[in-house]
Amino acid sequence: MQGGAISERSKEPIQPIPISFDYDAAKIELGKNLFFEPRLSKSGWITCNSCHNLSTGGVDNLPTSIGHKWIFGPINSPTVLNAKFNLAQFWDGRAKDLKEQAKGPIANPMEMASNHELVVGVLQSIPAYVQWFKEVYKDEKITIDNVTDAIAAFEETLTTPNSRFDAWLNGYNDKISESERQGYDLFKDKGCIICHNGIGAGGTSFQKFGVAKPYDKDTQTLGRYNVTKEEKDKYAFKVPLLRNIELTAPYFHDASAWSLSEAVKIMAEYQLGGTFTED
């Protein structure tokens, strides 16, 4: 490790994932159980982990997720890993944080297809949960706010620090190869870094898909416009995180790319207005 490298890289547009954070162990353990709890769904089969599988990079590796009665959803499920670093949740940013996001799928008829009142009733009928919530939230009754607060507390722990790239950012020069370093330099030089920055290498802004060239592969999903109703936000989406990107195919809101090389070509054509060589 070299001191000069640390000082220089502290100004990089991508920063290391923090290693430590404040947490409530009891709340996190409750949230973990709820994350894997199928009784939050109408069928008793679907969990948060169904679409955000922690064994496969926090996604299900499907173009769109399978919900209630085997219905396929309208959009690709983003990873839950490092989601705490997003400026908002969902592709269109309709949820301000993880707690608000967790309320959505439970009551979505295409996902878990339950409702908040039913979920609270189910949990209240299970003595172990009644006791658990009492211990975590003191004398409060089980509420949907407490349910999603616990889930969010668990999801906030799903970060992936100590990558080789983070070690390099922290001054350990030998942690990435020369070709990887050159790739990062190109990533910055070509303008990818304009959108993919911050701790998560993304998730810090909403950007129009199809800046240099109209993107007409998917005309059904309007993105941020669904929230703001402003014309400028049509086809604007939250920039996805690039952390652990090798695990989270297919890529983009419409799952139109199954490999990183294909995704890079699409970005070059539609966002940057150019092409990249195979090298």
User: For 59-95, what is each residue's pLDDT tens digit?
Assistant: 999 999 999 999 999 999 999 999 999 999 999 999 9
Confidence (pTM): 0.94
First to last CA, the chain: 30
Q: Has domain 25-156 been given CATH number 1.10.760.10?
A: yes
CB atoms within 10 A of CB 205: 15
Give me the phi and psi of 240, to 5 degrees please. -70, 155
Strand pairing class (236-238; 206-208): antiparallel
- 15 is written with which tokens? 């920063």
Provide the pLDDT for residue 9. Answer: 83
Q: Of 111, 180, 230, 231, which is the active-site residue?
A: 111
Can 25-156 and 164-272 be said to share one CATH topology?
yes
Which residues, given as ranges, of the chain have pLDDT below 50? none
Provide the pLDDT for residue 22. Answer: 85
**CATH annotation of 164-272:** 1.10.760.10
Provide the pLDDT for residue 20. Answer: 81
For tokens 């954070």, what's the residue?
21
155 noted as active-site residue: no
Could you tell me which of 76, 80, 34 has the C-alpha nearest to residue 56? Answer: 80
Domain residue spans of the chain? 25-156, 164-272
